[in-house]
Amino acid sequence: MIQADTQFPYDLVTLGQFESGWGWEGQLRSYIRKKYRSDLDGLAELEPTAVAARLGAVLVPERPYDTIRWGLVLKPFRPLELFFFYNVDPEFGNDLRVFFARKSLAVPTEDAYVFAWDYVALLARYGKGAFPLTMPPTPKDHRWVTLAELDAQSGSAMQRFTLQGRQDVLIRISPELAAIVMLRLDRGRCDTNADGWRIFWQVLPDLELRAVCRPAEVEIAYEAQGAAKYGPDFLISFAWLYLNALLREARQVNPHLPQLSSYF
């Protein structure tokens, strides 16, 4: 845990402090120190405000120690909050440290890890220059592309992986329950009607996710321009994470919903 001084007001924990989290923490640190190390070094040359803007993050004004160049916080949904601190040390080299607000311990360890891994991978791409820091122009027409359509284009299996074991539970979420869940998550928008619901999440500033539930059918889609940028790995991961959050919160409100574990 960061030992905060009187000027550092955040109560933070590492991934290792989640339930059975030490293995996940070790894997995340391996990605940062080995797989992505040279790419993350490139962050030292980038403007922190631009990096934060591309992730939809907010810069943290306080620094836990002097070698921290910048920090940012991301809040995908309540109660998850991730903190990233970029450390520049002439003796030990650059490093990226990942922490969570203590209240994030309510999120399952694997989900917390995957969120952290996704954001580290995105930061590495910006550090490497694989993704531009400039925002793309707003699409003239807001076109959606479903996971099924993306699968047909790429030969992947995004829809099967994302909905496996989840669709049967999702279709049991009533419009009223969906609206309550979205209020509790405090992120995204929910439209309801007599036949079902539509939920929208702004996953990243240029990546919007939509989940539509109709009788006996669930459709997952992304805004087409964002989907073209990020590719299957990120699209699968974010859809998986946000649907998990939706289902987890729905069971908090209605404990009679089946547990996902019963489908695997």
What is the pLDDT, as a whole number, of residue 264?
Answer: 38
CA-angle at 133, arms to 131 and 136, nearest 5°: 85
What is the pLDDT, as a whole number, of residue 1?
Answer: 41
pLDDT at 4 over 60: no
Residue 195, classed as helix, strand or coil, is coil
**pLDDT 10s digits, 190-208:** 999 999 999 999 999 999 9
What is the pLDDT, as a whole number, of residue 155?
Answer: 85
Residue 60, classed as helix, strand or coil, is coil
Helices H, strands E: what count in the chain?
A: 9, 10
* C-alpha to C-alpha distance for 241 and 161, rounded to whole angstroms: 12
Phi-psi region of 155 (alpha: psi -120 to 50; beta: other; left: phi over 0): left
First to last CA, the chain: 34
pLDDT at 177 over 50: yes
* C-alpha to C-alpha distance for 98 and 120, rounded to whole angstroms: 9
Q: What is the mean pLDDT of residues 220-240?
A: 96
Lowest mean pLDDT: which of 41-50, 106-115, 129-138? Answer: 129-138
DSSP string, 151-170: HHHH---HHHHHHTTTHHHH
* C-alpha to C-alpha distance for 241 and 1, rounded to whole angstroms: 25
Cis ω before 79 (30° cut-off from 0): yes
**pLDDT 10s digits, 55-91:** 999 999 988 888 899 999 999 999 999 999 999 988 8
What is the pLDDT, as a whole number, of residue 218?
Answer: 97
Q: What is the mean pLDDT of residues 249-254?
A: 97
**pLDDT 10s digits, 112-161:** 999 999 999 999 999 999 999 988 787 778 899 999 999 999 888 999 99
Q: What is the pTM of this model?
A: 0.94
Lowest mean pLDDT: which of 17-21, 58-62, 64-68, 237-241? Answer: 64-68
Burial (0-12, 13-18, 19+ Cβ within 10 Å), 61: exposed
Q: Edge-to-edge, what's the strand order for the sheet holding 93-101?
A: 12-13, 93-101, 80-89, 68-77, 58-59
What is the pLDDT, as a whole number, of residue 263?
Answer: 45
Q: Are 221 and 148 contacting, i.e. CB atoms less than 8 angstroms apart?
A: no
pLDDT at 245 over 90: yes
DSSP H stretches of helix in 90-220 = 109-128, 147-154, 158-163, 167-170, 175-185
Phi-psi region of 23 (alpha: psi -120 to 50; beta: other; left: phi over 0): alpha
